[in-house]
Amino acid sequence: MSQDELPPALRELQDQLHEAAQREIEVERRVAQRLRRGRFRRWLLVAVAAIVSAGGVAVAQRVLDREGADEPRETIPEKVAPAADLGVIPSSATPDPSGGPPWAMRAFTNRDDLECIALGRLREGVLGTYDRRTFRRKRPSALPGACGSLRRVGLVVAAHLRGGPEPRTIVYGLVRAARPVRVTVGGKIRTLQPDSSGSFIDVRIGLFDMDTARVSTRIDGRTVSRSFG
């Protein structure tokens, strides 16, 4: 299938991903440039902090609210979109059985021109983590992505297994044709309908053996499947 034959929603998403990748590269270049300029100031900031501390100045610590503290953001030039906001697909938002911010995906294109997907909890348009109480925003580099050729294969999938007091097994992906997707985990099949961008997320309670897990769909009249074993 050529690019012109892709559904309009996917063509638009593909264009957005390429634009996002170029913006990220530019952000990285400009951030590196500014960091080089700022190296000279670092020792001065440390010295000032030491003097203030020695003078006995008390610094009150802010009590974290339910939203929690953001990770430190890199200094970026004005009019350049923060990398954390690039490629987030709000329509992929899927509720967690225990509540809290929904799970959602970020889609982007890497330097090898492959389509990549990353998973997180969504709040106010950005992805992060959530521990039943506190939401923390994460930079894209802190949310690793799985990559593949959506144009050639038609299906990019990944799985996330989260332990702890509320274990989850999450299968998520991007499909070129917005047709129903069958997700098999632990011998149980769920049929999902991707949104207009082709994204889908399957959230299950508990931890499952992924050796037999599989995702399949119909693309161009043939069945395309991906396994995790």
**Nearest 5°: CA angle at 7, between 214 and 196?**
60
Q: Cβ neighbours of residue 165 under 8 Å, at least 6 residues apart? A: 132
Sign of the torsion angle spanned by Cα atoms 80, 84, 86, 90? negative
Structure token pair of residue 219: 């693309």
H-helix or E-strand spanning residue 38: helix 8-54
Other Cβ atoms within 10 Å of 57 Cβ, number:
8
Domain boundaries, the chain: 3-26+65-70+81-227
Three-class secondary structure of residue 173 per DSSP: strand
Q: Where are the beta strands (DSSP E) in 124-221?
A: 126-130, 135-137, 146-148, 155-162, 168-175, 181-185, 188-192, 199-205, 214-219
Sign of the torsion angle spanned by Cα atoms 108, 111, 113, 119? negative
What tens-digit pLDDT sequence spans the chain (229 residues)? 555 555 666 666 666 666 655 666 665 566 455 544 444 344 333 333 333 333 433 322 222 234 444 433 333 333 333 333 469 999 999 999 999 999 999 999 988 889 999 999 999 999 999 988 899 998 887 888 899 999 899 999 999 999 988 999 999 999 998 899 999 999 999 999 999 999 999 999 999 999 999 999 999 899 999 999 7
DSSP letter at 206 equals S
